[in-house]
Amino acid sequence: MSALELQAIEARYPGRRTGARSGPADSPAPVLRGIDLRLEPGEMLALIGPNGAGKSTLLRVAGGLIRPSAGRAFLADRDLTSLRPREIARQIAVVPQEGPVPVGLLVHEMVGLGRTPYVRRLLGPTARDRQAVEWALAAAGVAGLADRFVDELSGGERQRVILARALAQEPRVLLLDEPTANLDLQHQVAILELVRGLTREQGLTVIAAVHDLQLAALYCDRVALMSAGQIVSQGSPEAVLTAPLLLATFGQRVVLSAHPTHGVPLVALVPNGNARRVVSGQWSVVSGAPEASWSDSLCDQPLATDH
Amino acid sequence: MLLFSRRQIALSALATFALLLPTGVPVASAQPSGAAFPLSITDDDGVTSTFAAAPQRVVSLNPGLTEITFALGAGHRLVAVDTFSDYPPEASTIQPRLATYPGPSVETIVGLKPDVVLSLAERTDDLAQIRRQGIPVLKLFPRDFDAAVQTIGTLGRLYGTPDAAQAIVADMLARRDAVTAAVADAPRPRVLEELDASEPDKPFVAGPNGFYGQLIDLAGGTNIFDDLPGDVGQVGAEAIVERDPEIIILTDADLPFNPQTPEMVAARPGWDGITAVQSGAIYAVQASLYSSPGPRLIDGLEALARLLHPDRFPAPAAAQTVHGRVRALTARGVPRGADRTPPRGLPR
Amino acid sequence: MTDAPAKERSEAAGARNAVRPASVLVLAVLVLLLGCSLLFAAAFGAVQLRADDLLRMTVNHLLGPRFEPTWRPQDEAIFFSIRLPRVAGAATVGAALASAGVLFQGLLRNPLADPYALGVSGGAALGGALGFLLSVSFSFVGFSPVPVLAFGGGLAAMSLVYGLARSGGRAPTVTLLLAGFAVSAIMGYAVSFLLIMNDRLQINLPRVYGWLLGGISVTQWSQLAVALAMVGPAILGGWLLRHSLDALSLGEESAQQLGIAVESDKRLIIVLGSVLTGAAVALGGLIGFVGLFAPHVTRVVVGPRHGLLLPAAALVGAAFLVLADLLARALLPPTEIPVGILTAFVGGPFFLWLLRRERREYRL
């Protein structure tokens, strides 16, 4: 049984007259076309592609926020459209890119909001809810910040708090919309480490829309490359992160080799005229040549770095 | 910006202006002289206008001033009045009728080429604009009985009918003196004069001075709210129950909105212990007799005095005049629990 | 990644509430505050009544004649028929306005939202003005035409605003706010237009404006009963929606992703808010400031979570308006000051002081 499956999804942005449901007044061209995606439990999928490719829209469809105009979405073999928001929220959690933070909210209260799909209307949170919050705080590594105000935290800390809130939902599927934007290097790695650990320990299924191809290669089992509303290629990072595909999709030349310590694809940008150029002993780059198979020439070079 | 009808004079203008002006209000004065014209009049704004001859084309922006004009026999000189001028009945046929809220149409007034414009309390800017066109404006705002009498005299001199004015003034003063003499040694009952009860637990009532307060005083009553800062005030029902009036006068019985009847007043929660309610001394009167700075003020005073001291005044003769009929009607109160219906359809 | 040992976890949880005062404590203090305000306001007014007389009077009233009257009979009339209903009315209106303020500030995520944000002020003003035009006087459960029509006008305006803002089953927040502002403005100016065109209204000009300034007008207990029948359940309904309100503060998308049925809950919040505001307007006209001020003040102390914010703000609003109404009655006896003036004069400076004290940039 798959954790999440999208079949032939087509989605349009709601027009003025019809709102979340699709209809004749919607945008003329679909934002997503022919999306097929299947994730097994415990898998981590990176969603990459240029701005406007439809990554966020796909995440919205996967999260049940937008109803597709065609195709079906399944959560553990149950049709998403047949589930009520509360049921969806108990299984799928979203870590959004950014959002308003109410003033004066404490971290543990923010994480507590993740229990909204479970909490009782009349009697409020149970011991179980409190337990889940404690666990989420610990899992996201923000237990020490629990009494701080959310709006006083740094970007990285806030991102982890939002993650903790998503974890408090005790989801089976986690959707991350550019979790590493606005984070410094250390925090980018930290958050992906965290999430990856959870997929291994808890069997959490993750889709992360990321811009950083290297992080995608390092942390994700599979990569889906999107362009203009379609999935151009999906598979292992080695299969998807190829120079011709990336050039065609991003319009950017790259050189790919193997990561020195982890063996995953190492993505090196080949910029245009104004970039700096340094010639050091081991690495030499021949200028002016068009899209040659750089990987070939470079793989022959011995590694310069220490481990 | 407010429209000043008869009611407006009492309710808002008095309340506001009374707070601003001390008791010594400058009343329009005219120079006494042997020759009637040329005549200089200084109005309540302090503006002096000089008239070479009696004006023949008059615009009146206030029903009280219209009424005085007719009483002085100069009604035919009115070329325009305000929308509320309807007494005497001939006044309601005068065209054009000018709306005065939020302000009069200066163009229309200027277009009529009047010799004088009479205003009670229009905006200074509007009046200045009219004056700039070479049209004299007299702002006459009498605030009590004496000032009203003086205004009648002033207008009499203006219209060149000083004798008519003198006759009216003499009549008013003589009748006033008769009233005050009749009640001079009588015990003064506690009187509440209610002006508006849109919120029955917070009615508008008459304060000291001003038209209402002064008439109560002259008629031989004690206004229970003679400590209000203005001529009109809004007070709580608590204070009314506390001060326990012996007589309640309703000037809001003929209001187009939410008219009050003595039964309604008696039924108000908490009011049943008031002396006036228990003895049925709640009287509805014709409001226009009390709020208009015109000759009918004396009718109002007499009616009021008769209500407060019925024993001091002979029973009214069979009504011959409109005024007499009004007096007869307003002298009847409605005792609590009786079946009598209150006076209806009071003539305006 | 291991779980922290259970003991450490519970200790951490125990120390958690150091920053926030305990809910029970806050509510107890506020109930006490309201109680004191009610007693204080009942004891004072335009007329001086002795407190011990009032106590004896009350005992006599409730338990039968136990005490010899040391007071005048009109004192009883003043206290039971005039003053008490008014004080109870002020508490009800204050609670209703503050609760409506909490609901609308949560719904619209805007610190400037108040109970009148969605068109109610204009609608109620227009309804009230039409009530002033009627020459028939009727009494509906003790309410005269003006409050009844103001109530209807307010609710009608709110429905209009929602209908205008809604498209495709959703009513976006900004659209609601803008439509509310526009409808209120149009209706408010319609009142001014009516005033120009209609003689009857002009005669009553000071009354119309006075009513617009707001003033508690409760003369019969039946009025209070009807109002409480609306206000009580509506506040309870709002409290049951506390989780939705908390989630909505994160934005509508996040709220939906947390399992909230956003559009239907928004509709529900709007309905509850309109009922609360309508009841408040029927008892007290357009009293401003309480609905804006009480939620903010309360939020500073108890935090943004609606489970505590809603009941706490209601208590704060009730106490505040009871005291403001006391001043309206007793500051310049025997003159009555429109209470809207006092809510601004008393609440305004305090609110400004609070804003300056809060060094954090103020967002909702």
Tens digit of pLDDT for each residue in B214-237?
A: 999 999 999 999 999 888 888 999
CB-CB neighbours of B111 under 10 Å: 11
Residue B154 lies in a domain: yes
Residue A136 lies in a domain: no
Which one-letter DSSP state was computed for residue A280? -
Mean model confidence pLDDT for chain C: 86
Domain C85-357 falls in which CATH fold? ABC transporter involved in vitamin B12 uptake, BtuC (1.10.3470)
| Closest by Cα among A201, A146, A288 to C1 | A201
Interface check C300 vs A, CB under 8 A:
yes
Residue B45 lies in a domain: yes
Interface check B73 vs C, CB under 8 A:
no
Q: Which of residues 181-240 of B touch C (CB under 8 A)?
A: 196, 198-202, 204, 225, 227-229, 233-239
Question: In whole angstroms, what is the distance from residue C132 CA to residue A137 CA?
Answer: 60
Q: Which DSSP string do the residues of C81-113 spell out, in sequence order? A: IIIHHHHHHHHHHHHHHHHHHHHHHHHHT-TT-
Amino acid in position C301: V
Report angle CA B279, B179, B292 to the nearest 5 degrees.
Answer: 85
Using an 8 Å Cβ cutoff, are B63 and B7 in contact? no
The model's pLDDT over A140-158, given as tens digits with 9 standing for 90+, comes to: 989 999 999 998 898 888 8
Residue A233 lies in a domain: yes
What percent of chain A clears pLDDT 90, i.e. is strictly above it?
49
Using DSSP's 3-state secondary structure scheme, residue A59 falls into helix
Q: Using CB atoms, which residue from B7, B12, B202 is nearest to C336? A: B202
Burial class of B277 by CB neighbour count within 10 A (0 to 12, 13 to 18, 19+): buried
CA torsion sign, C92 to C93 to C96 to C98? negative
Predicted complex: ipTM over 0.85: no
The model's pLDDT over A30-72, given as tens digits with 9 standing for 90+, comes to: 889 999 999 999 999 999 999 888 899 999 999 999 889 999 9
Structure tokens at A108: 């543990």
Edge to edge, the sheet with strand A222-227 lists A92-95, A173-177, A205-209, A44-48, A222-227, A230-235
pLDDT at B13: 45
Question: pTM value?
Answer: 0.82
Verify whether the Cβ–Cβ distance C200 to B256 is below 8 Å. yes
Question: In whole angstroms, what is the distance from residue C85 CA to residue B202 CA?
Answer: 14
Structure tokens at A257: 């080799």
Q: Contacts of residue A16 in chain C, CB cutoff 8 Å?
A: 167-168
Query: Who has greater pLDDT, C162 or C81?
Result: C162
Structure tokens at B130: 């009219």
| Closest chain C CA to residue A199 | C1
Verify whether the Cβ–Cβ distance A19 to C168 is below 8 Å. yes
Dihedrals phi, psi of A6, to nearest 5 degrees: -115, 130
CA dihedral C222, C224, C229, C231 (to 10 degrees): 160
| Closest by Cα among C145, C120, C143 to C134 | C145
Residue B228 lies in a domain: yes
Structure tokens at C290: 């309480």
Question: In whole angstroms, what is the distance from residue B22 CA to residue C302 CA?
Answer: 52
Domain co-membership, B157 together with B95: yes
Does the pLDDT value for residue A295 go beyond 70?
A: no
Question: In whole angstroms, what is the distance from residue B37 CA to residue C256 CA?
Answer: 86
Domain co-membership, B317 together with B203: yes
Q: Contacts of residue C12 in chain A, CB cutoff 8 Å?
A: 134, 143, 146
pLDDT at B103: 81
Domain co-membership, B146 together with B274: no
Report angle CA A270, A271, A273 to the nearest 5 degrees.
Answer: 130
Question: Which residues span the domain enclosing B77?
Answer: 6-173
Q: Which residue has the tokens 């609590």?
A: B336
Domain co-membership, B141 together with B206: no
The model's pLDDT over B260-316, given as tens digits with 9 standing for 90+, comes to: 889 989 988 889 889 999 999 999 998 888 878 889 999 999 999 999 999 888 766
Domain co-membership, B248 together with B109: no
Question: In whole angstroms, what is the distance from residue C364 CA to residue C106 CA?
Answer: 8
| Closest by Cα among C342, C331, C346, C343 to C46 | C331
Question: In whole angstroms, what is the distance from residue C216 CA to residue B268 CA?
Answer: 16
Question: In whole angstroms, what is the distance from residue B190 CA to residue B188 CA?
Answer: 7
Using an 8 Å Cβ cutoff, are B87 and B108 in contact? no
Question: In whole angstroms, what is the distance from residue C115 CA to residue C108 CA?
Answer: 11
Least confident of A17-26, B317-326, C308-317: B317-326
Q: Which residues touch A290 (CB under 8 Å, ≥6 apart)?
A: none
Least confident of A164-173, B327-336, C193-202, C270-279: B327-336
pLDDT at C72: 82
Does the pLDDT value for residue C2 go beyond 80?
A: no
Does the pLDDT value for residue A6 go beyond 80?
A: yes
Residue B108 lies in a domain: yes
Verify whether the Cβ–Cβ distance C217 to B202 is below 8 Å. yes
Backbone angle region of A71, left / alpha / beta, with phi > 0 → left and psi within -120 to 50 → alpha: left
CA torsion sign, A231 to A237 to A238 to A241? positive
Verify whether the Cβ–Cβ distance C1 to A138 is below 8 Å. yes
Interface check C61 vs B, CB under 8 A:
no
Using an 8 Å Cβ cutoff, are A200 and A206 in contact? no
Query: Who has greater pLDDT, B326 or C165?
Result: C165
pLDDT at B22: 41
Domain co-membership, B165 together with B227: no
Does the pLDDT value for residue A95 go beyond 90?
A: yes
pLDDT at B341: 40
Residue B75 lies in a domain: yes
pLDDT at B315: 64
Q: Quick one: average pLDDT of B80-91?
A: 89
Q: Quick one: average pLDDT of B313-340?
A: 46
Q: Contacts of residue A124 in chain C, CB cutoff 8 Å?
A: 307
CB-CB neighbours of C48 under 10 Å: 11
pLDDT at C135: 64
Residues in chain C: 364
Domain co-membership, B35 together with B134: yes
H or E stretch covering A197: helix A185-202
pLDDT at A283: 47
pLDDT at A306: 39
Bridge partners for A92 per DSSP: A173
Count of domains forming chain B? 2
CATH code at position B311:
3.40.50.1980
Touching B: which chains, 3+ CB pairs < 8 A? C
Burial class of A229 by CB neighbour count within 10 A (0 to 12, 13 to 18, 19+): buried
Does the pLDDT value for residue A112 go beyond 80?
A: yes
Structure tokens at A169: 């939902």
Q: Contacts of residue B274 in chain C, CB cutoff 8 Å?
A: 74
Structure tokens at C103: 């609901």
Burial class of C353 by CB neighbour count within 10 A (0 to 12, 13 to 18, 19+): exposed
| Closest by Cα among B200, B194, B258 to C131 | B258
Interface check C219 vs B, CB under 8 A:
yes
Interface check C21 vs A, CB under 8 A:
no
pLDDT at B332: 45
Count of domains forming chain A? 1
Least confident of A107-121, A139-153, B247-261, C324-338: B247-261
Residue A249 lies in a domain: no
Q: Contacts of residue A121 in chain C, CB cutoff 8 Å?
A: 240, 243
Domain co-membership, B206 together with B269: yes
Query: Who has greater pLDDT, A296 or B242?
Result: B242
Residue B195 lies in a domain: yes
Using DSSP's 3-state secondary structure scheme, residue A142 falls into coil
Edge to edge, the sheet with strand B97-98 lists B97-98, B78-82, B58-60, B116-119, B137-139
The answer to whether A and B touch (≥3 CB pairs < 8 Å) is no
The model's pLDDT over A243-269, given as tens digits with 9 standing for 90+, comes to: 999 989 988 888 899 988 988 999 888
| Closest by Cα among B211, B268, B209 to B241 | B268
Verify whether the Cβ–Cβ distance C204 to B198 is below 8 Å. yes
Using an 8 Å Cβ cutoff, are B84 and B307 in contact? no
CB-CB neighbours of B39 under 10 Å: 20
What percent of chain B clears pLDDT 90, i.e. is strictly above it?
46
pLDDT at C7: 44
Query: Who has greater pLDDT, B309 or A292?
Result: B309
Residue A293 lies in a domain: no
Verify whether the Cβ–Cβ distance C196 to B99 is below 8 Å. yes
CB-CB neighbours of B225 under 10 Å: 23
Burial class of C232 by CB neighbour count within 10 A (0 to 12, 13 to 18, 19+): middle
Going by their DSSP bridges, the two strands B204-206 and B190-196 should be labelled as: antiparallel
Using DSSP's 3-state secondary structure scheme, residue A11 falls into strand
Q: Which residue has the tokens 């005030």?
A: B233
Give, to the nearest 10 degrees, the angle between helix C23-43 and helix C306-330. Answer: 10
Report angle CA A250, A251, A257 to the nearest 5 degrees.
Answer: 75
Residue B339 lies in a domain: no
